[in-house]
Chains A and B, each alone.
Chain A
Amino acid sequence: MTDTASTRPSSGVEVGTEGHAGEHGGDHFLGHHFKDHAHQLNTAKLGIWLFLGQELLFFGGLFCAYAIYRSMHPEIFAEGHLFLDTRLGAINTCVLIFSSLTAAWSVRAAQLNHRRALITAILLTILCAFGFLGIKYIEYAHKIHEGLVWGASFAPSSEAVQHATEAMAHGASSTLTEAHTLSNRLHIFFSIYFAMTGLHGIHVVAGIFAYLWLLRRAIRGDFTQDYYGPVDGVALYWHLVDLIWIYLFPLLYLIH
């Protein structure tokens, strides 16, 4: 931070802009407009945090819709969650939490210049992400098969209804012990379920692409203790994706 202007290290290579190139050789990964790596890392991190802030508000709209429908029509949530498979949801929660650990490990590995550990951590994270999507696929396929889908297409099969009614009778939901008909707004629960988990799933897919990009760069040996901003940034994003699921799981699956 104490560099004077005339000694600013910079490089046009990574930034690749015409007219900026060739000012300073050597450091590929330092933008020509930054003072040093610490400056670049700090700035990039602020950018990522701002991006995560907008992600929170992006999901915030759906959480807000959830809150409004839950307060106005609590019965559809009390009934709806009985149709969800808590066991699969719980497994997926563990998978994502573990992947957050490997994501954090990848950052540490990059900071310590441990290339093999970095590659391993990235691979494990990608594996977890695919595992999550695989389990999600099983859940979705099951729901679609039973007609438990969104809004206008909602047409639950009789087995699904029977299954849910039995769950009620078992006292899974103490408020709904007596046999009764399901709410005529139940489809809204599934609209919200698919909107929220679907948007989350898209974020998982985006995370996979981001990690594949990191994997390529890690194998190429781009990352060092000076330059690991992309690993850090993607890991922060991945933690957010994980965190959103940690809210989605109880809000959708664990209702009493």
Chain B
Amino acid sequence: MTATTMPMDTSEPTYLTQARGALSWLLTLDHKRIGIMYLVVTSASLFLGGVFALLVRTELLTPGETIMTHDTYNRMFTLHGAVMVFLFIIPAIPAAIGNFVLPLMLGVKDVAFPRLNLASFYVWVLGALVLVASMYMSAIDTGWTFYAPYSTSKAVGSATSVGTSAMGAFILGFSSIFTAINFIATINKMRPLGMSWFKMPLFLWALYATAIIQVLATPVLAITLLLLAIERAFGLGIFNPALGGDPVLFQHFFWFYSHPAVYIMILPAMGIISEVVSVFSRKHIFGYKFIALSSLAIAFLGFLVWGHHMFVSGQSPLMSIIFSALTFTVSVPSAIKVFNWLATMYKGSIWLATPMIYALAFIFLFAIGGLTGMFLGTLNVDVHLHDTYFVVAHFHYVMVGGTLMALLSGLYYWWPKFFGRMYSEAGARVGAVLVFIGFNGTFFPQFILGSRGMPRRYYAYLPQYQGLHMLSTVGAFILGIGLATAFGVLVYAAFRGRRAPANPWGANTIEWQTASPPPSYNFHDQPEAGDPYDFEGWVYDAGTDGYVKKPAVVA
């Protein structure tokens, strides 16, 4: 057993050194390599979407034209939204971190269907290429939501490539479904002896709930986008009022997926936070079963609230009232998670390493994002706030303040396992602080802008809003610098960092029982599955600056 807790000295090849050359990566069936490939492409997407965001914010520095025309601006915010949603946030945590960590947490050699896993990666690449190519060929200016009838009408849309980009998103959906099928089958059928459902790490519960949503919601988006593309190409008429179709039906279909998709984005993030908060408080997670089941509750309730995106679409008032009421029910399992994390930290011995800093940022920002969601779920308040910057600020607090913070937390947490190298704690903390300041600087002013009536997606605005817009733009650049720092520190660490021990954090989930980085087959011996949040079995070892198994006490 000692071999598995020793730092990796080159005696045994790791999954990184097992085979060399581009083909050994491109044709790999190893879940770890596929996870790393996903990490590379989703990070590139984050960079691309981030550049678009900075261009949008720069344009909004002044009330009139600053650096681009209004047409270019419309394309820029569409590109920002489509790239961030479809190419970055949805796949980032499940497909990149999840792919790497899930089989390791289960102590198995791979996911259930390794070839399907690789296929999902290439389906993703194909979808991304179609989406990006469609943007390059000509413009899409519908926003990422593709609302009919603007998106279906040929008169205004014929010069744009809405149909192609919808097909890109359609293809990306199948990548998401394949990953989800893989995760559900793996968790259901391949848990090791001794790991019952309620002994599973909470990250796996979160991935499981996410995968259920992906399997059940994504196909509805797929058929919707397929109909949209056919409608544009052949004049099908199901969504187009000019042909007797129903544009509100499009909104129903779209949000039936895209609201649950919000939980596809946030649930894996919550899973990471559950792991990190417990490990870095050196304390057993509080309310394990409640956190686990609240993931499923969120997944279930998430399917019943899509109509709150449509309060002003002309749906019946009765439906709006019911959707509004159901929307509040989602806050219950969300709050259960937040309170359990806080209770976990209570009287814990908190270690402010970078993953924990991001986790704390997550809890703080997600609380704001969640609470402002209550404003928007309230029917009469939403009539005032809908389509204003308040909405923009709200969902960025959840998506960026939530998912992106958790992604960074997870990356810093598992980076030693990914690459067998430690990052620079000082540099990482600087990045984290910049991200936190920049994020709040960008989006907090937008709450105020929105409540004062600044509509979203507008190119020109009244001079009275300029001060807050400038503040927001400055914040965006700080956020950009912070993210560059955070990723820079990680990339540097991957190549030049100090060698990481097998278990730098003293965590008890199974992935820390193998070497960092793991060998191709993951584990020498079948690892033991115990209580994932019982840290008693590990003691600090100064020699490796990591944790090793406590020698068994003879009773």
Contacts and interface: CB of A to CB of B under 8 A. Distances in A.
Interface residues of chain B: helix, strand, loop or mixed (majority): helix
A50 B112 contact: no
A254 interface: no
B487 interface: no
B516 to A, nearest CB: 17
Given A46-B185, A150-B235, A152-B235, A33 B108 contact: yes
A46 B218 contact: no
Contacts of A18: 18-19, 24, 28, 30, 520
B245 A42 contact: no
Interface stretch (B48-56, B220-228, B433-441): B220-228
Contacts of B24: 18
A50 B235 contact: no
A27 to B, nearest CB: 16
Nearest to B214: A54
B238 A47 contact: no
Contacts of B526: 4-6
Interface of B: 13, 15, 18-19, 24, 28-30, 103, 108-110, 112-116, 177, 180-182, 184-186, 188-190, 215-220, 222-224, 226-227, 230-231, 234-238, 240, 243-246, 249, 253, 519-521, 525-526
A195 interface: yes
Interface stretch (A57-65, A86-94, A135-143, A166-174): A57-65
Contacts of B215: 50, 53-54
A199 B224 CA distance: 13
Nearest to B112: A43
A33 B520 contact: no
Nearest to B15: A19
A188 B184 contact: no
A149 to B, nearest CB: 9
Contacts of A33: 103, 108-110, 112, 114, 190
A184 interface: yes
B1 to A, nearest CB: 14
Contacts of B186: 43
A195 B238 contact: yes
Given A5-B526, A19-B15, A46 B189 contact: yes
B238 A17 contact: no
Nearest to B29: A17
A217 to B, nearest CB: 15
Contacts, number: 155
* Nearest 8 interchain pairs by C-beta: A152-B235, A5-B526, A151-B237, A19-B520, A61-B223, A58-B219, A17-B29, A33-B109
A64 B219 CA distance: 13
B189 A43 contact: yes
Given A54-B215, A54-B219, A192-B238, A17 B28 contact: yes
A209 interface: no
Nearest to B183: A50
Interface string A178-191: 00000011011001
A16 B244 CA distance: 53
A39 B112 CA distance: 10
Given A42-B189, A152-B235, 9 more contacts: A17-B28, A31-B114, A44-B113, A47-B112, A54-B177, A54-B219, A152-B236, A188-B245, A199-B226
Nearest to B253: A61
A191 B233 CA distance: 13
Contacts of B109: 10, 20, 32-33
Interface in A112-152: 150-152
A68 interface: yes
30 contacts: A4-B526, A6-B526, A10-B109, A16-B29, A18-B18, A18-B520, A19-B30, A19-B519, A20-B520, A33-B110, A42-B189, A43-B113, A43-B189, A44-B112, A47-B113, A50-B184, A51-B181, A54-B218, A55-B219, A58-B222, A59-B223, A60-B223, A61-B253, A62-B227, A69-B246, A151-B234, A151-B245, A153-B234, A192-B238, A199-B226
B31 to A, nearest CB: 10
Contacts of B182: 47
Nearest to B217: A57
Contacts of A31: 110, 114
A205 interface: no
Interface of A is mostly: helix
A15 interface: yes
B29 to A, nearest CB: 4
Given A54-B218, A62-B223, A68-B249, A188 B238 contact: yes
A19 B525 CA distance: 17
Contacts of A4: 526
Contacts of A32: 109-110
A19 B223 contact: no
Contact of B181 (A50, A65, A188): A50
Contacts of A59: 223
A111 B216 CA distance: 32
B219 A57 contact: yes
A85 B245 CA distance: 25
B216 A57 contact: yes
A65 B253 CA distance: 9
B498 to A, nearest CB: 26
Contact of A58 (B181, B190, B223): B223
Given A20-B520, A33-B109, A53-B216, A152 B243 contact: yes
B29 A15 contact: yes
A199 B223 CA distance: 10
Nearest to B519: A19
Given A31-B114, A33-B109, A50-B185, A185 B244 contact: yes
Given A46-B188, A152-B235, A19 B19 contact: yes
A5 B237 contact: no
Interface in A171-224: 184-185, 187-188, 191-192, 194-195, 199
A116 B227 CA distance: 43
A227 to B, nearest CB: 16
Nearest to A56: B219
Contacts of A185: 244
Contact of A47 (B19, B28, B181, B244): B181
Nearest to A185: B244
A74 B521 CA distance: 60
A150 B215 CA distance: 30
